[in-house]
A = this chain, B = another copy of it.
Amino acid sequence: MTEILKNREYKKEKMKELLKKIHKGEDIEKLKEEFKDLLRSISPLEIPLIEQELVKEGISAREIAKMCDIHVELFREAVAGSEKEEMKDIPSGHPLHTLYEENKEIIKDAEMLNLYASTLVNTKDKKMRKEILGVLKGIANQLRAVGFTHYNREEMLIFPYLERRGITAVPTVLWTKHDEARGMIKQLLEILSKENEMEWEEFVKALKEKAAELSNALVDMVFRENNILYPTLKALLSEGEWVAIKGQEEAIGYYKVKPGDEWKPEAKPLHPYEIDTTLTAEQLLSLPKEVQMALRGQKLEGDKTKVKREGDLELETGYLSPKEINAIFKHLPVDVTFIDKDDRVRFFSGGDRIFTRTPSIIGRPVQLCHPPKSVNIVNRILKAFKEGKKDVAEFWIQMGGKFIYIKYVPVRDENGEYLGTLEITQEVSRIKALEGEKRLLDWRD
């Protein structure tokens, strides 16, 4: 027996002991203390292997499943020593705190996934198999959210701050890894959907392999983030940058975590395009070794592009020149006409339109822009909008092979105050004919 296997044998025995004690209901805090060294010595990738052996030895999958939560909890706390260290001076509610917290959840779910998939292999009972499959589907579906919350927040809110400072390699590598994990989750879900199309043995083998691969990838990412990305952010980002990130987090969402509220920043939000991109010596030296290595020999140039140009209009979500605004409206696939709160035409989009609009109607009361017989209806719609009783009035007509969709919507400000009404007209026959899917990667020149 090799040294490794002997070692695993020992760990397995201790694990069994631990699990049994948990099962008996012994105090968790005391157990944590007692098995601290054991837990620290087990890598996250070893656990499922040991558990699998326990299953073989007759401990029922259900039994292990029950203990799973507690076990993962213990395991996580044990191995996450460095993480704990990192987190100790970050108050809850701080975006970095939230990211660390999410990583705990991700590790837990990755472990659970692996454990259940391994357990399934050794489960003969059909009812039990069904139960475990149900749990696996639940976890796999849940894990999809990692992609559109935790990873997405990093890609959209955080990476821009590194890119702006000239550090583009780290985000690119991480994003590539994120996408690999996303792909594996998709593949896992695909395998899970083929339960009745495949031989059981073949199915369960594919399932277990994919679960292990995904679990590895997720845990690997947690380690990369906790040890490279987050320390880098800690070294570089100012309070204002974190305030800006915090302000946008909610729109994307979190993975199984609700941020706390200990963090009370005072800085004003600083968006990526507003930051000073020069790296100080102090910042450079406090970067993780891996990042220092990556940057060595590279000319680090910050992105100095000014976002607000001379004459630009500052909008809530960007900067546009009047020329761009005109052109954007002209190129929209919908024609719009806007009447203000006093029912006067203020604006219409230019370009090719379904129903012609001419500057002569600017300032004209909308009631005078319609055939006299429909004025009454126009007024009733506007009344319903102003009173907040309706939020849309839609119509559709067909003429000369065109299918025209016309929508009126009240425009309100952030306080719900009525600012006017928008008429939106769209030729939708192309849309109505679309079938199936055509994705970005299907594009051909």
- Chain A residues within 8 Å of B, Cβ to Cβ: 152, 156-161, 163-164, 168, 171-172, 175-176, 178-179, 244-245, 248, 251-252, 271-273, 303, 305, 307, 313-320, 322-334, 336, 338, 340, 342, 344-350, 356-365, 368-369, 371-374, 377-378, 380-381, 384, 393-398, 403, 405, 407, 409-413, 419-420, 422, 424, 426, 428, 431-432, 434, 436-443, 445
Which B residues are in CB contact (< 8 Å) with A248?
358-360
Q: A307 to nearest B CB, angstroms?
A: 4
Known: A377-B443, A397-B437, A426-B431. 19 other contacts (CB 8 A): A158-B360, A171-B368, A244-B359, A244-B360, A245-B360, A252-B358, A272-B363, A317-B348, A318-B347, A318-B348, A318-B359, A320-B338, A323-B419, A324-B340, A325-B325, A331-B422, A332-B336, A332-B424, A432-B432
Partner among B175, B318, B345, B396 whose Cβ is within 8 Å of the Cβ of A372: B175
Question: Given the complex of chains A and B, what is the CA–CA distance between A109 and B47 in angstroms?
Answer: 91
Least Cβ–Cβ distance between A323 and chain B, in angstroms: 7
Contact residues in B for A171 (Cβ distance below 8 Å) = 368
Contact partner of A432 (CB less than 8 A), chosen from B160, B342, B431, is: B431
Q: Which residues of chain B have C-beta atoms less than 8 A from A420's C-beta? A: 324
Given contacts A439-B397, A445-B380, contact A317 B364 (CB under 8 A): no
Expressed in whole angstroms, the Cα–Cα distance for A432 and B407 within the complex equals 15
Chain B residues positioned under 8 Å from A362 (CB to CB) = 271-273, 307, 317-319
Q: Which residues of B contact A442 (CB under 8 A)?
A: 395
Asked if B331 and A313 make an inter-chain contact with CB atoms under 8 angstroms apart, the answer reads no
The residue on B at minimum CB distance from A269 is: B359
Are B319's CB and A346's CB within 8 A? yes
A324, A350, A405 interface centre (most CB from chain B within 10 Å): A324
Contacts of A410 in B (CB 8 A): 331
Q: Which of B178, B374, B403, B413 contacts A327 (CB 8 A)?
A: B413
Taking the full assembly, how many copies of this chain does it contain? 2
* Residues of chain B with a CB closer than 8 A to A245's CB: 360
Q: Are A358 and B157 in contact (CB-based, < 8 A)?
A: yes
Interface centre among A326, A369, A409 (most CB of B within 10 A): A326
Query: Of B172, B271, B273, B434, which contacts A396 at CB under 8 A?
Result: B434
What is the CA–CA distance of A156 and B359 in the complex, to the nearest angstrom?
9
**Do residues B328 and A363 form an inter-chain contact, with CB atoms below 8 A?**
no
Note all chain B residues with C-beta closer than 8 A to A437. Answer: 396-398
CA of A126 to CA of B87, assembled, Å: 95
Least CB distance from A120 to B in Å reads: 27
CA distance A342 to B360 in the complex (A): 36
Question: Could you name 18 residue pairs across A and B whose Cβ atoms are closer than 8 Å?
Answer: A176-B373, A179-B371, A244-B360, A251-B356, A271-B363, A272-B362, A313-B325, A315-B329, A317-B348, A317-B349, A317-B350, A318-B346, A319-B346, A319-B347, A327-B419, A331-B411, A377-B440, A432-B434
Inter-chain CA distance A122–B16, complex, in Å, is 107
Please tell me if the beta carbons of A305 and B434 are within 8 angstroms of each other in the complex. no
User: Roughly how many angstroms separate A248 CA and B350 CA in the complex, as a whole number?
Assistant: 12
**Across the interface, do B368 and A163 meet the contact criterion of CB distance under 8 Å?**
yes
**A378: which B residues are within 8 A, CB to CB?**
440
Q: Report the Cα distance A384→B434, complex, angstroms.
A: 23
Cβ of B441 and Cβ of A374 under 8 Å apart? yes
* Nearest CB of B to A231, in Å: 21
The 6 closest A-B pairs by CB, nearest first: A318-B347, A273-B363, A248-B358, A307-B363, A316-B326, A317-B350
- A411→B351 CA distance, assembly (Å): 11
Nearest-neighbour CB distance to chain B for A331, whole angstroms, equals 5
Taking a contact as CB atoms under 8 Å apart, the answer to whether B271 and A360 are in contact is yes
How far in angstroms is the closest Cβ of chain B from A442?
7
Nearest CB of B to A334, in Å: 6
Task: Knowing A437-B396, A437-B397 are in contact, say whether A314-B322 is a contact too (CB < 8 A).
Answer: yes
Given contacts A172-B372, A320-B347, A395-B440, contact A358 B328 (CB under 8 A): no
Docked Cα-Cα span, A93 to B12, in Å, equals 97
